[in-house]
């Protein structure tokens, strides 16, 4: 048997395993994992007892080829608990004759000193009092806060007040929604924020692109994790919020907030498999459903009834569920309505809401720009999910209709996600789609949409990061080939090789494309997405459809599209 540690980190909030903040180790184990896991459990108990934390608990999750090993911890000593967990693992290796036993004479004083230096009784007292008073409590290494929005107040961790000093009635919460899923998270979040704005709230959102309150962009970058949640909820002008919650952040740190009023899972499909011990879609489903841990039992969990795996798994949940579907006859909707539940669906060109025997039309598809008159069906799903959020938060139908109509789905509202452009060249149209589709599930949905767009010639720009498996890259390509590309432009993603040799991914795509029947002469490889975009635009002619999958260098791709459209009518053919 072989065993090695691959990662050691803090889980600062509710997570895949339980609601407890924890120190977690990810380990690889060849052979039967239980002997070394049992040795780790025994060692962890001894080290915990030695430093005065015998009341903390352990748990583990076995996955193919390894395990995750957790020790719960108070939030003030998570770094020290990571050290303890690593010592327990080293002790387990020694017990299985795979390493040297750590010397307790040396390690116990060191470990005790670490816990003593990190311990913060004032932080734990404030956390307990916030829980008792039902007040939002957020913490990190630099700041601790009570309350959301205009009532938020911040302190340094080494300068915290005692609970007795505070007027707890001053700290309030605000309506809060969480959105996760494999595809559609960002769009659903932005649609929901548009509805909140239409309802008269100063809406805040976090996403993989930026963090924003109203029209004020606080910062750009990936804020789909715990740090983005804290930053947004501490903004004094945020009145209602919706957080994009990505898989990576959930598995790396856990939830960034303790409570939410509604949570959404848009779908669950193969993406990023093999990371954090998640190796299959059935394993990914409960990882996405970590968001449920932020909900009270009666707070709605919004689920996609068209996602068979997700819908089937929901039968294991003891949670109030609000379903959405493109099919008004979906059996999960019917069952929910029979039980007096709330559902949203597409029927006769309208987004419709129903509860029991009461049905009402809320928003016509023709007034939802991001749906392109129903052609972009995945954005209808996203709109239904956003509508479920709004209904759960008590927003009226008029604001839902207005908010969905105001969300144009263009590069300003939703950069790089379903951005359509039309440019007249020599009396004909060149149609351009810039999109973020980066996995098989998303690419299939995109192919379904573009299949309804007239085109004499299709150019597809595609690329992928090197940390995806060959199987995932091939599946993306196969889904992309559903667009029936006449020319395939394959881009290397500089900086995203992630362990592969330069151009290894483009060469893999080229070989597989030829196997799938695309002529070798119709395939070109480019050093960057920008170069591929420039080439596609330079050769565009009337009747063309350019599908630009902008996984990186998105702003550069959009800038090139604008330069092309501003160039006037030219014959590029």
pLDDT tens digits, residue range 49-69?
Answer: 999 999 999 999 999 899 999
DSSP 55-86: T--EEEEEETTEEEEEEE--GGGHHHHHHHHH
pTM: 0.88
What does the alpha-carbon distance between residue 58 and residue 60 come to, in Å, rounded to a whole number?
Answer: 7
What does the alpha-carbon distance between residue 67 and residue 89 come to, in Å, rounded to a whole number?
Answer: 12
Q: Which tokens is 145 given? A: 């806060």
Nearest C-alpha neighbor of 84 from the set 128, 124, 52: 52
What does the alpha-carbon distance between residue 72 and residue 23 come to, in Å, rounded to a whole number?
Answer: 6
3-state secondary structure 341-375: CEEEEEECCEEEEEECCEEEEEEEHHHCHHHCCCC
pLDDT tens digits, residue range 324-351?
Answer: 999 999 999 999 999 889 999 999 999 9
pLDDT at position 243 is 98
DSSP 186-240: HHHHHHHHHHHHHTT--EEEE-SSEEEETTEEEEES---SHHHHHHHHT-TT-SE
Ranges under pLDDT 50 in the chain: 569-573
Q: Which tokens is 465 given? A: 């990061």
pLDDT tens digits, residue range 85-96?
Answer: 999 999 999 999
For residue 402, the 8-state DSSP code is H
Q: What is the residue-averaged pLDDT of the chain?
A: 93
Half-sphere exposure of 480 (CA within 13 A, CB side): 35
pLDDT at position 410 is 81
For residue 275, the 8-state DSSP code is B
Angle at 269 between CA 184 and CA 369, to 5 degrees: 20
DSSP 316-346: G--S-EEEEES-TT-HHHHHHHHTT-EEEEE
pLDDT at position 272 is 66
pLDDT tens digits, residue range 412-461?
Answer: 878 777 888 988 887 788 999 998 777 888 888 888 888 888 899 999 99
Q: In what order do the strands lie in the sheet with 210-213?
A: 216-220, 210-213, 203-206, 240-244, 176-180, 262-265, 301-304, 321-325, 342-347, 350-355, 358-364
What does the alpha-carbon distance between residue 151 and residue 144 come to, in Å, rounded to a whole number?
Answer: 14
Angle between helices 470-480 and 504-515 (to 10 degrees): 50
What does the alpha-carbon distance between residue 524 and residue 518 come to, in Å, rounded to a whole number?
Answer: 11
């Amino acid at each position: 048997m072989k065993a090695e540690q691959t990662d050691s980190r803090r889980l600062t909030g509710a997570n895949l395993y339980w609601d407890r903040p924890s120190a977690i180790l990810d380990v690889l184990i060849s052979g039967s994992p239980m002997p070394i896991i049992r040795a780790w459990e025994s060692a962890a108990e001894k080290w915990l007892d030695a430093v005065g934390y015998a009341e903390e608990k352990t748990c583990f999750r076995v996955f193919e080829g390894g395990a995750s090993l957790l020790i719960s911890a108070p939030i003030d000593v998570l770094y020290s608990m990571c050290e303890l967990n690593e010592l327990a693992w080293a002790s387990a290796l020694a017990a299985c004759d795979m390493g040297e036993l750590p010397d307790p004479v040396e390690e116990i004083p060191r470990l005790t000193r670490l816990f003593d230096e990190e311990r913060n009784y004032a932080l734990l007292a404030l956390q307990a009092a916030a829980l008792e008073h039902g007040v939002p409590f957020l913490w990190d290494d630099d700041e601790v806060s009570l309350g959301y929005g205009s009532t938020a107040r911040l302190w340094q961790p080494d300068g915290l007040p005692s609970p007795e000093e505070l007027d707890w009635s001053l700290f309030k919460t605000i309506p809060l929604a969480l959105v996760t899923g494999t595809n559609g998270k960002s769009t659903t979040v932005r649609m929901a924020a548009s509805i909140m704005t239409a309802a008269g709230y100063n809406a805040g959102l976090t996403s993989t692109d930026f963090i924003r309150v109203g029209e004020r962009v606080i910062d750009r970058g990936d804020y789909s994790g715990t740090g983005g949640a804290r930053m947004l909820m501490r903004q004094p002008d945020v009145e209602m919020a919706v957080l994009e919650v990505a898989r990576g952040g959930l598995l790396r740190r856990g939830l960034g907030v303790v409570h939410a009023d509604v949570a959404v899972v848009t779908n669950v499909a193969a993406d990023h498999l093999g990371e954090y011990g998640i190796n299959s879609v059935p394993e990914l489903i409960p990882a996405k459903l970590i968001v449920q841990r932020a909900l009270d039992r009666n707070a709605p969990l919004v689920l996609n009834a068209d996602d068979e795996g997700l819908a089937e798994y929901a039968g294991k949940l003891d949670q109030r569920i609000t379903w959405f579907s493109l099919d008004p006859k979906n059996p999960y909707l019917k069952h929910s309505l029979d039980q007096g539940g709330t559902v949203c669906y597409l029927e006769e060109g309208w987004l419709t809401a129903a509860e029991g025997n009461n049905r009402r039309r809320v928003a016509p598809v023709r007034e939802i720009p991001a749906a392109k008159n129903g052609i972009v069906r995945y954005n209808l799903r996203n709109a239904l999910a956003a509508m479920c959020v709004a209904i759960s938060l008590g927003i009226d139908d008029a604001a839902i209709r207005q908010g969905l109509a105001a969300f144009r789905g263009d590069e300003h509202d939703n950069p790089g996600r379903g951005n359509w452009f039309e440019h007249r060249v020599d009396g004909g149209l060149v149609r351009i789609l810039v999109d973020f589709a980066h996995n098989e599930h998303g690419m299939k949905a995109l192919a379904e949409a573009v299949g309804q767009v007239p085109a004499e010639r299709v150019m597809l720009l595609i690329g992928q990061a090197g940390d995806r498996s060959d199987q995932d890259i091939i599946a993306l390509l196969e889904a992309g080939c559903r667009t029936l590309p006449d020319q395939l432009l394959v881009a290397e993603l500089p900086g995203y090789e992630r362990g592969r040799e330069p151009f290894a991914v483009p060469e893999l795509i080229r070989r597989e494309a030829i196997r799938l029947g695309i002529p070798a002469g119709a395939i070109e490889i480019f050093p960057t997405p920008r170069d591929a975009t420039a080439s596609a635009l330079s050769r565009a002619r009337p009747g063309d459809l350019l599908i630009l999958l902008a996984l990186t260098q998105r702003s550069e791709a959009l800038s090139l599209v604008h330069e092309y459209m501003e160039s006037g009518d030219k014959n590029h053919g």
